[in-house]
Amino acid sequence: MNTQINRLPVPTWNRTGVNWLDQKALPPDREYLQGRHLPYDGILPHGITLMDHLPAGVAEIKSGMGEWLDEFIRKGADKTCYLLGEGIASEPVIITQNLDPAQPVIRTHYAIKAKPGSNLTVVQINRGDAKDGVVENLTQIDAQADSFVRLISIQLLGKNSQSFDAVGARIGKGAKVELIRAVFGGKTAACGSMAHLEGQGGGYQQDTAYFTDEDQIFDFNDIASHIGRETVSEMHTAGVLSGRSSKILRGTIDFKAGSAHSVGHENETVLLLSPRARNRTVPLILCGEEAVEGQHAATLGRFDEKQLYYLCSRGLSLMEAKRMLVEARFMPVLNKITQDDLRQEILTIIERRLDEHEINS
């Protein structure tokens, strides 16, 4: 088994350093407690029930982080949360995990099985901090025909911790999965998602927002694998880099033979605030099918002077204008967070980091 994490689906020049996870973001090389697989004990809304075992076929749904890490988390999970969606859930499931010195390692295996026609939203919030703390999540989603699953992942860890967030989704006929991510914390944060668009007419939407500062290292590997006919993927990432931070985004649209009439779009906008920050973007399109449409675009750089000038001419201060432009980038993610206090918390983090950048620059 290949043990590399966040592996680029097709490798390129090794000296670019993008073929797999940034070496500085590797998981700590030390012994963990063996997983106890303690089941989730929170309250669930109407329309979602807890399964006492992992449903057949779900363990095989690969995430974007690689088989080794998937198996490591699945086998060594301290907690499990196997959710079954039937019908339309009355409200989202919100699961918050807090890292603290007494519990410096959290390893959770989530499984979401959405029965045909069901509709559910799961919100995962990871916060807290601990010296050498680690949060490792694996979420495997089986979205059956015409179901809808929205997974919202909010990562607000402190700067002493590392996070690993692996997501794999099998998307059936007419089903749709949305992955909404806001990544702000951790000294390192690695995320890897893979959408297996197997059923005809399946859809996948991914919106990611991140804001790095200080020495943070973020590393993403997101893959939309079009297998069935007439499948659609939309992957959008917006980020801001400041301080001495660095980030790698690998985004891949993979049209397999047989995925005729499928469409995949991917775009990324990156704002570099600091001359010491480093951004690497690797947007792949792999195509083995003729009748498809694939497109990716990336815009990397600084604030648009014309936009700032316009906003300032309408009475905003320069700082207010910058804040507005940054918040606008994050709106696709923020708009899907229905919890007002959580959204406000994220806005506060954005505001604080912008202020800190202005003070330090």
Partner 1 sequence: MKDFKQEKTRVDQADRTIYNVKDRLDPAFLMDSGITPEIVNQISKEKNEPEWMRLFRLKSLKLYNEIPLPTWGPSLDELNMDQIVTYVRPKSTMKAKWSDVPDDIKETFERLGIPKAERKSLAGVGAQYDSEVVYHNVRAEVASKGVVYTDIESALTGPYSEMIRKHFMKLVPPSDHKFAALHGAVWSGGSFVYVPAGVTVEIPLQSYFRLNAPGAGQFEHTLIIVEEGAYLHFIEGCSAPRYYVANLHAGCVELYVGKNARLRYSTIENWSKNMYNLNTKRASVEEGGTVEWISGSFGSHISYLYPMSILKGKKARMEFTGITFAGEGQNLDTGAKVLHAAPDTTSHISTKSISRDGGNSTFRSVVTVTEKAEGSKSAVSCESLMLDSISRSDTIPVMDISCNQADIGHEAKIGRISESAIFYLMSRGLSEDDARALIVGGFAEPIAKELPLEYAVEMNNLIHLEMKGSIG
Residues that bind partner 1 (CB under 8 A): 10-14, 16, 18-19, 255, 257, 260, 270, 272-302
Which residue, among 293, 288, 291, 226, has the nearest Cα to 257 in the 3D structure?
A: 288
Closest CB 255 distance from partner 1, rounded Å: 8
CA distances from 187 to 63, 244, 329 (A): 22, 12, 23
Nearer to partner 1, 54 or 282 (CB): 282
| Closer by beta carbon to partner 1, 290 or else 341 | 290
CB of 123 to partner 1, least distance (A): 32
The shares of helix, strand and coil residues in the chain, as percent rounded to the nearest 5, are 15, 45, 40
Smallest gap from residue 45 Cβ to partner 1 (A): 42
Cα separation, 263 vs 236, in Å, equals 14
Which residues, including other chains, have CB under 8 Å from residue 321's CB and lie 6 or more apart? 307, 308, 311, 312
**Cβ 113 vs Cβ 74: under 8 Å:** no
Least CB distance from residue 277 to partner 1, whole Å?
Answer: 7
Nearer to partner 1, 127 or 250 (CB): 250
| CB closer to partner 1 out of 12 and 34 | 12
Element (H, E) at 70: helix 67-76
The strand pair at 93-99 and 119-128 is best described as parallel
Identity of the residue, 51 or 282, whose beta carbon is nearer to partner 1 in the bound complex: 282
- Asked if residues 169 and 194 have their Cβ atoms less than 8 Å apart, the reply is yes
CB of 69 to partner 1, least distance (A): 21
In the bound complex, what is the minimum distance in angstroms from residue 109's beta carbon to partner 1? 32
Q: Which is nearer to partner 1, 180 or 326 (CB)?
A: 326
> E strand or H helix at 10, and its extent?
none
Min dist CB 225 to partner 1, Å, is 14
Q: Minimal distance in Å, beta carbon 256 to partner 1? A: 10
Which CB, 59 or 287, lies closer to partner 1? Answer: 287
- Paired residues of 319 in beta bridges: none
**CA dihedral (328, 283, 191, 117) positive or negative:** positive
Q: Quick one: 199 or 294, whose CB is closer to partner 1?
A: 294
Nearest approach in angstroms of CB 94 to partner 1 is: 36
Q: How many helices and strands in the chain, by DSSP H and E?
A: 4, 18
Q: Give me the sign of the Cα torsion angle 208, 197, 7, 283.
A: negative
DSSP assigned state of 64: T
Nearest to 333 by CA among 155, 144, 126, 98: 155
Give ∠ CA 82-51-153 in degrees, rounded to 5. 20
Nearest CB to partner 1, comparing residues 21 and 106: 21
State how far the Cα of 85 lies from the Cα of 70, in Å rounded to an integer: 23
